[in-house]
Amino acid sequence: MTESKNTTHNVINELASKKAICLQLSNIAKVFRTQELETHALRCVDLTIYQGDFVSISGPSGCGKSSLLAIMGLLDSPSAGSYHIVGKDVSQLGVDMRAEIRNKSIGFIFQSFNLIDELSVFENIALVLRYREVKSGEKELTETEIEQAVHSALSQVDMGHRAEHKPNQLSGGQQQRIAIARALVGKPAILLVDEPTGNLDSKNGDAVMALLKSLNKAGTTICMVTHDTRYAEFADTQLHLLDGEMISEPAMMVGEAS
């Protein structure tokens, strides 16, 4: 299995050798410890994503997909291994620096949309830019610049006419589009997408996946976690996790095996 895994990664690396590295995980492990139990959620995960890639990570429930995505999104720390985003080692960063990188380099899209109900669509999206702190020498974004960025992100997801609506006035598919716009507005290095179609019917799910595909074609780097093999095929690179390890072939689902 290890030999097969290395071969796959070599092929990917070879194909992408001329692209800049966006995100690189080396020997990442995640262990959850309780008083009596030690659970290895991830074991020696190596992963390199290049700019412009569309990578899907799939696997059965409990295989470590969410743990991996949390580490990639700097929402959690690995127990071992190193992690670089756009060449910067982010494995050992403090809370504030991790928040800053999340704000500037990562865009999140979740299964449950995670929009703030009391804020308008515009404010939901603008929130990313409002939390952006300027360092000395940098220029603070003006309200006009924020407005332009938000409207640009909204037009990317074809939701420009819904800026003043509240999330609960929109359908699930529309809410996910808004969530995608929020992920895009800060011009991040990569979009981390967690089961984007999980709360949607197939029609809306297909539309969201088509949107993600079109964004990727326009140059957006995407790493998507899904257990849906149909949607995983939208990605150019399909990786599979099983019991916390990256494998080359899709793991056979328990249901399929029976």
Partner 1 sequence: MKLKHEILHSIAGLKKTPIFVFTLVFTLAVTLGALFAAFNLNQLILFKELPYANAEQLYVLEQNLVRDGKDNIGDQTIGAQIRMHRLSKAFISSAIVQRGKGILVSSPSEPVVATLFLSNEFFSLLSVPFELGGAFSRDGDNEQLSDAKAEAVISYQLWQTDFTGSQQVIGQSLQINDEHYKIVGVLDEDFIDPGPFVTQATQVYLPFKFSGLTEDIGRGTSTLLSLVHLSQGQSLIGVTEQLSMILTAFMHEGVDATNYTNIELKAHLTKLNDSIKGDSGQITLVIFAASLVLLLIAFANVVNLYLSHISKKQQLLAICACIGAKPRALFKKLFVESLLLTLGAAVFALIIAAWLLVLTKEIAGGTLPRLNELGLDGTTIIFSLLIAVILAALLAFFGKFAVSYNALKEHLSSSGKGTNAQVSPIIRKLLIASQVSLTGLLLLVTSMVLQTNLETVNHPLGINVENVTSVWVMLAKVIKDKNN
3-state secondary structure of 146: helix
The reply on whether position 128 binds partner 1 by CB under 8 A is yes
Contact string 137-176 vs partner 1 (x = CB under 8 A): ----------------------------------------
Residue 2: CB minimum distance to partner 1, A: 30
Exposure string for 87-116, b = 16+ CB within 10 A, e = fewer: eeebbebeeeebebbbbbbbbbbbbebebe
Binding part of the chain for partner 1, among 31-39, 78-86, 109-117, 169-177 by CB under 8 A, reads: 109-117
Q: Which of 51, 79, 82, 199 binds partner 1 (CB under 8 A)?
A: 199
Query: Which pair of structure tokens corresponds to residue 196?
Result: 């984007």
| CA–CA distance, 200 with 176 (Å, rounded to integer) | 9
The reply on whether position 117 binds partner 1 by CB under 8 A is yes
Q: Which of 5, 30, 102, 177 binds partner 1 (CB under 8 A)?
A: 102
How far, CA to CA in Å, does 240 sit from each of 2, 104, 167, 170?
A: 13, 28, 33, 34
| CA–CA distance, 203 with 194 (Å, rounded to integer) | 18
| CA–CA distance, 58 with 139 (Å, rounded to integer) | 41
The CA-based diameter of the chain, rounded to the nearest angstrom, is 62
Binding part of the chain for partner 1, among 16-24, 29-37, 43-51, 193-201 by CB under 8 A, reads: 193-201
Tell me, rounded to whole angstroms, the distance of Cα 160 from its chain centroid. 23
Q: Regarding beta strands 245-247 and 21-33, do their DSSP bridges make them parallel or antiparallel, or are they unpaired?
A: unpaired
| Token pair 């929130």: residue | 127
The reply on whether position 93 binds partner 1 by CB under 8 A is no
Which of positions 26-45 make contact with partner 1 (CB under 8 A)?
Answer: none
Binding part of the chain for partner 1, among 8-16, 21-29, 129-137, 201-209 by CB under 8 A, reads: 129-137
Residue 82: CB minimum distance to partner 1, A: 20
Which residue, 23 or 109, has its beta carbon nearer to partner 1? 109
Binding part of the chain for partner 1, among 16-24, 45-53, 99-107, 239-247 by CB under 8 A, reads: 99-107
DSSP code per residue over 92-145: T--HHHHHHHHHHHEEEE-TT----TTS-HHHHHHHHHHTPPPPTTPPPPPHHH
| Token pair 């995960």: residue | 45
Binding part of the chain for partner 1, among 7-15, 41-49, 190-198, 249-257 by CB under 8 A, reads: 190-198
Q: Which of 90, 173, 194, 205 binds partner 1 (CB under 8 A)?
A: 194
Binding region for partner 1 (CB under 8 A): 66, 70, 73, 75-76, 95-96, 99-100, 102-104, 108, 110-112, 114-119, 123, 127-128, 130-133, 182, 186, 194-195, 198-199
